[in-house]
Amino acid sequence: MKYTLAKQNYKKETFLKIFEFAIQTKQLDEKQILSIQNDIFEIVKVLTLTYTKKRSTTITAKKFKQFMKSIYYVLDHLIVKYQDPVFELKNSNIKGLYENGIIILNELYDLLEEQIKKLKSIRIITNNERYNDIFDRQLPYFMALYDIDYRAYYCGYDLDYPLIDGIPLYFDMYHLEGIDLVLEYTKRLMIEHTFCTYFEEKDKVTLFAAYELQKGITMEFIGINFLEVILMQVLFNMLLDKQELSIIVNKEEALYIQKMIYQKDIKTIIELMYKKLSTKIHERSMYQYLCKFREDFTRRLEIGKEKDSITDLIVFFDGSKEIIHFKEPVLSDSEYYMTVIESVQRNNDVLERIFIILNSKLSLYDYIDLLDANILSRKDYQCFFHQIDIHSIALLLKKTYPEEFLFNQNVFLDKQFVQRLEKDKQWKEVFCEVLLEFTSQKKTEITSIIRKML
Amino acid sequence: MKYFIVKNKDINKDFLAIKDLNYELQQYGLELSEKDLQELRTAQRLATRKYKLVDLDDQIIFTIANILMKSPYVRYDNYVLLIKGFIDTYYACRSRFQSQLYDDEVVTIMFQCYLKNYGEINMQLIFNVLQELEKTI
């Protein structure tokens, strides 16, 4: 009987499965079985001796299992290459098969290295932690620490930047291990990145900034898939009569899209979107990959329609929304800082002292140092906080109490909020008092400035 | 996962190994039979299982038998028992110091400690061997 490999699911075929099949169907006689077993034993013995530097033939049971698993992993890669694997088992030397398997794994390693290099060249510029971790830590460390001899099956990293169909290690998505898993992940990541390269970097940066602003959350810490954000915009754009693929939608266009979605059936809309998309994407494999999002997108639109929140799904650019970019303040040199402090200390008049501080070229962190230094009186603090503009107040508030503004959450400068703030220094007490004295309009302005800060 | 592992039991090889060993043992009035060797192999298997280790060779039995024949505490009737005790002690120490020392080195240190322990194989011996091994490393 000939063992037929399941072509579609060939990655599930293992050396052990084929060996067991050959034994059960009595295609191998006892002598051949013993010879195969002895060959495997010899391989594991050689591995053990190289591992212990020929000092001992004893290893822990855990290490032994690792070696065995690694040997089978290597043999698995070779066995799927043969038309009749049982015939190969009968007639080949297992040691030779193992050596050829190592060569195949080395080739895969080179392929992966090349793939990662290509991916790095088209990497998206973002501050997203998970995404950057994949490129800066997980993939390079996997490459550096990958051990073909002793732990070929092992991948010690989560690969936790989600792809459009999820995180690979969750639920053992691809049923793969070791280098196969990483290779599959990078292959999919490559398709996603190739699609992302269709759009200008400038557009992507604007889209992500608008996304943050609209959702009220920074991209830094969230487990987001960039293709998902981009693809949704592209699909919405398909409803507009644009000649080229685009990710930019303005407010009027967003309202038009919303109107269209409400007028028609969701399935018709999705059909239309993907039909148009198929005409614009010529690579079939990429189009098929993008279709993985179809089901999820349909569900989102259905929920959006049900809850009347379609516009929340579209990232659009409202002209009235401004983004404030504050450069990280640089500390002044200590000599200059000391001269300012000395001149402040020399003066007795409150207004003059504040005048010196405000006209100095101190940065925000210097201001905080100066406030912490306890050289000003309560009156000085009051005068100082009334003199500085609302932008500085907002910045000071965000830098002093960063824990209150995590993930760009909305805050209201009401009595309850101010009472909650830490007041371990005199200036902080005065600062809180001054905050309460502000008019409600001024408070709203301050909070809106904080939200616009990135 | 199943492991298809068997050690090559070459009967001729065993016979020759025992013949070689017995040639040496005769000088001390000792002897090992093939049945004894089987018994020692079982003891080795049990000891490795006890300490969660795997030994891919039985050479350690011959190393221990070779060094123990020089012991003043060994007699014709307790020789196999002593080897068994030594095998257990050896793997107890190996589980602590994996592959940092050569097998021969470990057995030599064990033998020295055994002599200092007046031929007793007990917890004290294991403790002393571990201390000595730590010093060597």
CB-CB under 8 Å, B95 with A59: no
Q: How far is it, in rounded angstroms, from Cα B64 to Cα B84? A: 9
CB-CB under 8 Å, B54 with A61: yes
CB-CB under 8 Å, A65 with B1: yes
Q: pLDDT at position A185, please?
A: 92
Q: pLDDT at position B2, please?
A: 47
Question: Is the minimum CB–CB distance between A50 and chain B shorter than 8 Å?
Answer: no
Q: pLDDT at position B9, please?
A: 54
The ipTM value here is: 0.86
pLDDT-based confidence at residue B11 (cuts at 50, 70, 90)? low
Kindly report the backbone phi and psi dihedral angles of residue B53, in degrees, each rounded to the nearest multiple of 5, phi listed first.
-125, 165
Q: pLDDT at position A393, please?
A: 84
Q: pLDDT at position A331, please?
A: 58
Which of A31, A56, A66, A177 would you mutate first to test chain B, the one with the most B CBs within 10 A?
Answer: A56
Question: Is the minimum CB–CB distance between B136 and chain A shorter than 8 Å?
Answer: no
The distance of B108 to chain A (nearest Cα, Å) reads 14
* Nearest alpha-carbon partner for A390 in A327, A323, A326, A438: A438
Q: Write the single-letter amino acid at B101.
A: L
The distance of B29 to chain A (nearest Cα, Å) reads 30
How much is the average pLDDT of B11-23? 76
Q: Which of A40, A51, A55 is the closest to B5 by Cβ?
A: A40
DSSP for A174-217, written as a single string: T---HHHHHHHHHHHHHHHHHHHTTS-HHHHHHHHHHHHHHHT-
User: Residues A401, A405, A410, CA angle at the centre, nearest 5°?
Assistant: 135
Residue of B nearest to A61 (CA): B53
Q: pLDDT at position B1, please?
A: 44
Q: Write the single-letter amino acid at A331.
A: L
How much is the average pLDDT of B17-41? 86
Torsion of CA A359, A362, A363, A367, to 10 degrees: -90
Q: How far is it, in rounded angstroms, from Cα A333 to Cα A366? A: 10
Q: pLDDT at position A345, please?
A: 83
Q: pLDDT at position A9, please?
A: 44
Q: Is A246 helix (H, G, I), strand (E, B) or coil?
A: coil
Contact call for residues A116 and A41 (beta carbons, < 8 A): no
H or E, element range at A59: strand A58-60
Q: How far is it, in rounded angstroms, from Cα A147 to Cα A202? A: 41
Q: Which of B7, B60, B98 is the closest to A59 by Cβ?
A: B98
Residue of A nearest to B98 (CA): A59
Placement of tokens 């579209």 in the chain: A314
**How many CB atoms are closer than 10 A to CB B97?**
16
pLDDT-based confidence at residue B108 (cuts at 50, 70, 90)? very high
Question: Is the minimum CB–CB distance between A31 and chain B shorter than 8 Å?
Answer: no
pTM of the shown model:
0.72
Q: Is the pLDDT of residue B96 over 90?
A: no
* Cβ neighbours of A40 in B, within 8 Å: 4-5
Q: How far is it, in rounded angstroms, from Cα A128 to Cα A136? A: 12
Q: pLDDT at position B86, please?
A: 92
Q: pLDDT at position A212, please?
A: 82
* Cβ neighbours of A44 in B, within 8 Å: 5, 56
pLDDT less than 50: residues of chain A: 6-11, 325-327
Please report the sign of the dihedral spanned by the C-alpha atoms of residue A439, residue A445, residue A448, residue A450: negative
Q: pLDDT at position A194, please?
A: 92
Q: Which residues make Cβ contacts (< 8 Å) with residue A45, sequence separation at least 6?
A: A57, B56, B57
- Average pLDDT score over chain B: 85
* Cβ neighbours of A94 in B, within 8 Å: none
Kindly report the backbone phi and psi dihedral angles of residue A109, in degrees, each rounded to the nearest multiple of 5, phi listed first.
-60, -45
